[in-house]
Chain A
Amino acid sequence: MPRIADVSNVEKNFILEALTSSKLRLDGRQLDQYRSIDLTYGQQLGNATVTLGKTKVNVQISAEVTKPSEERKFDGIFTITTELSPIASPGFEIGRPTEQEVLLSRILEKAIRRSRAIDTESLCIVAGQKCWSVRADVHVLDFDGGLTDACCIATMAALHHFRRPEVSVEGERVTIHTMAERVPVPLSILHSPICVTFSFYADGELVLLDATAKEEQVREAEMVVTANDFEICQIAKHGGKPVDPAIVVKCFQVAISKAREMNKSMRARLTADLAKRDIRGQSAENERGEAPIG
């Protein structure tokens, strides 16, 4: 089984000592400073690439018409699939999902799907018979820590960008219009969750944001807090060294402010990209209903 090489004792001590004695990080960042986040949209609708320092994640959204599940007749289907392949890091392998991969997909699932960021009811076409199945494929292209944060931003950015074909229902007949025929519609997104990972050092006294792979290897505990502009959507501290409650509460506030900040820059990028597409003669209406047909 391939494994990422452990950090050597010398390097580990160096990182920890720099942190605890003078609050310095390897790359000179502030403790609560993210690496530079870059978001680019691909040629297709619903394709987003996020780079967070050296970490790179690509997400593609796709949709197809299927039959809804028996228990949820009025809901469409939304799934997120993640795969950590050797392309990202020599420590990842194809096949059986590792513990890290299970946790990543569980957190994304809780952050985006369980918190109902996508209104699945709007994906229903004919109750019990036809619905949209929207799928987000998360591809990790480069791994240098901060995977959860990057994957969550990329998935939300791609979901905001995606358009599905317009559908019209006349009695029993369902027509799916091509993109050229009718203006495609955006997904109905209820809120925009952002994951913020906190790494704890020195018995929870030091809290780092956006740790690199090396910093992740030497941390004592981690906590992922997912927030949108005004709510906490999910908290996950899967064990690790115990942390003081006061520090945990402080993390919630930080998560909300970071989420606001990131959502703001994400929206700016999105409007810029959609405006660019409009010039090229493609449909890019921001809001549903305002679309001029024809």
Chain B
Amino acid sequence: MPLDTTSTYSTTLLRLDGRRWNELRKISASISTQPTADGSSLVTTGNTSVVCTITGPREGRGQGDRTNAIVDTDINIAPFAQLDRRRVGRTDKRVQELQTTISQAFQAHLFTHLYPRSSILISLTVLSLDGGLLSTCLNAASIALIDAGVPMPSILASITTGTIIPTDNSLSRPEPVLDLNNAEEVELPFMNLATVRGQTGSEDQISVLLMETRVQMSEANNPLEIMLRIGLDGCAQVRSHLEEVIRRHGRRMTQGRR
């Protein structure tokens, strides 16, 4: 069994877990999983699973904004989520950055002006973590907010993309890969991308874009541009999947009522 993607990908064109470059891991999502919450969801992408509960929109005490609702996020990574048992504290800057990112993404995306002086709290609990933390959190929050009945123009869908940059010159083109797992995230340069559907006739718009690794800029087949292109496509795939989940849930609800 190979230990890294870079050395074997050029010969097998298969990744460590046997996927092709554009294959997503299995996404299973469901909404209304927590009966007591205003909105809730459980999203599992491969071995990453996140539970999301929404509290609100409700009266925001001491909330300064008189025209909009304020979106707040709380991420809790369970100590047993990763291979090594470890407590991730609330003061961890990485987690705080993720919280801010999720809040700011939904603050601009939701129709918050319909709920003046209110607050919407997104609580995320990460049960198991194998790459794609931010993406899975954003996807879970997105459909949980729909369950809570907060209006939004489209589903905010997210994915990670990476590139395999060949070390030897036998394969001169950088190869993009979609939806990385933890081993690949450690090894390859990758970015987190979240998009919302654009207006008719225009492309999907980028809401969140985070990249932490160095990537060379070259004139011809620029790896960054390729990653972005593939990512936009991946987000669209995830979005259609999540939409299907919402529709299925809606059908079940209307049937139950009859």
**A and B associate in one complex:** yes
Contacts from A to B (Cβ < 8 Å) = 99, 102-103, 105-106, 109-110, 114-115, 204, 220-221, 223, 227, 230-246, 248-249, 252-253, 256
Partner of B93, one of A106, A227, A243: A106
Name the A residues within 8 Å of B202 (CB-CB). 244
By beta carbon, the residue of chain B nearest A252 is B224
Q: Judging by beta carbons under 8 Å apart, are A235 and B210 in contact?
A: yes
- B104 contacts A239, CB within 8 Å? yes
Are A105 and B211 interface neighbours, CB within 8 A? no
How far, in angstroms, from A81 to B205 measured CA to CA in the complex? 34
Q: By the criterion CB–CB under 8 Å, are B196 and A232 in contact?
A: no
**How many B residues touch A, CB cutoff 8 Å?**
38
List the B residue with the shortest CB-CB distance to A100: B100
The contact string, 1 if C-beta is below 8 Å from chain A, for chain B 199-236, is 00011111111111111110000001100100010000
B107 within 8 A of A: yes
Does the CB pair A231–B217 fall under 8 Å?
Answer: yes
Chain A residue nearest to B203 (CB atoms) is: A245
Instruction: For the complex of A and B, list the 8 residue pairs with the smallest distance between their C-beta atoms, beginning with the closest.
Output: A239-B104, A242-B205, A239-B105, A237-B209, A235-B211, A242-B207, A238-B101, A102-B96
CB distance from B65 to the nearest CB of A (A): 10
Which of A230, A231, A238, A243 sits near B210, CB closer than 8 Å? A238
Whole-angstrom distance between the Cβ of B43 and the nearest chain A Cβ:
19
Q: Is B137 an interface residue (CB 8 A)?
A: no
Taking the nearest CB of chain A, how far is it from the CB of B73, in angstroms? Answer: 10
Among B205, B211, B224, contact of A243 (Cβ-Cβ < 8 Å): B205
A231/B215 in contact, CB under 8 A: yes
A240-B108 contact in complex given A102-B96, A248-B209, A248-B228, C-beta closer than 8 Å: yes
Contact of A204 among B205, B212, B228 (CB under 8 A): B205
Contacts of B213 in A (CB 8 A): 115
B107–A239 touching, CB < 8 Å:
yes
Kindly report which residue of chain B lies nearest to residue A248, judged by CB atoms. B206
Interfacial chain B residues near A237, Cβ < 8 Å: 206-210
Asked if B217 and A220 sit within 8 Å, CB to CB, the answer is no
Contact (Cβ within 8 A) A234 B211: yes
Alpha-carbon distance A114/B97, docked complex (angstroms)? 15
- C-beta contact mask, B167-211 vs A, less than 8 Å → 1, else 0? 000000000000000000000000100011010001111111111
- One of B94, B103, B214 near A239 (C-beta < 8 A): B103
Residues of A within 8 A of B217 (CB): 227, 230-232, 252-253, 256
> Is B212 within 8 A of A239, CB to CB?
no
Contact B228–A239 (Cβ < 8 Å):
no
11 pairs, A vs B, C-beta closer than 8 Å: A102-B100, A103-B97, A110-B212, A234-B211, A234-B214, A240-B207, A242-B206, A244-B205, A245-B203, A246-B203, A252-B224
A contact residues around B105 at 8 Å (CB):
238-240
A232 & B207 in contact (Cβ 8 Å cutoff): no
A239 and B208: CB pair below 8 A? yes
Query: Quick one: CB contact mask for B80-97 with A, threshold 8 Å, 1 for yes?
Result: 000000000000011011
Contact A239–B215 (Cβ < 8 Å): no
| Complex CA distance for A233 and B213, rounded to whole angstroms | 6
Contact indicator A245/B97 (Cβ below 8 Å): no
Q: A102-B96, A245-B228 are in contact. Are A239 and B205 (CB under 8 A)?
A: no
Q: Are B206 and A243 in contact (CB under 8 A)?
A: yes
CA distance A54 to B109 in the complex (A): 33
Q: How far apart sit A99 and B95, CA to CA, in the bound complex (Å)?
A: 12
**In the bound complex, what is the Cα–Cα distance between A236 and B208 (angstroms)?**
8
Bound complex: CA A230 to CA B224 (Å): 13
Are A239 and B93 closer than 8 Å at their CB atoms? no
- The answer to whether B94 touches A106, judged by C-beta atoms less than 8 angstroms apart, is yes
- Given contacts A232-B214, A248-B228, are A238 and B208 in contact (CB under 8 A)? yes
In the assembled complex, which residues on chain B have CB atoms less than 8 Å from the CB atom of A240? Answer: 104-105, 108, 207
Q: Which residue of B93, B94, B203, B209 is within 8 Å of A235 (Cβ)?
A: B209
Does B106 lie at the interface of the complex (its beta carbon under 8 Å from any beta carbon of A)?
A: yes
Q: Mark B103-123, 1 if CB is under 8 A from A, else 0.
A: 111111100000000000000
B148 interfacial contact with A, CB 8 Å: no
Identify the closest chain A residue to B202 (Cβ).
A244
Q: Which of B109, B205, B207, B214 has most A Cβ within 10 Å?
A: B214
Looking across the interface, which residue of chain A has its beta carbon closest to that of B102?
A239
* Complex partner residue of A99 from B100, B203, B210, B224, CB under 8 angstroms: B100
Candidates A102, A232, A245; contact of B232 at CB < 8 Å: A245
Pick the contact of A238: B104, B191, B212 (CB < 8 A): B104
Assess the B216–A239 pair: CB atoms within 8 A. Answer: no
Chain B positions within 8 Å of A233 at CB level? 214
B211, B225, B232: which has the most chain A beta carbons within 10 Å? B211
Most-contacted residue by chain A among B103, B198, B203, B224 (CB, 10 A): B224
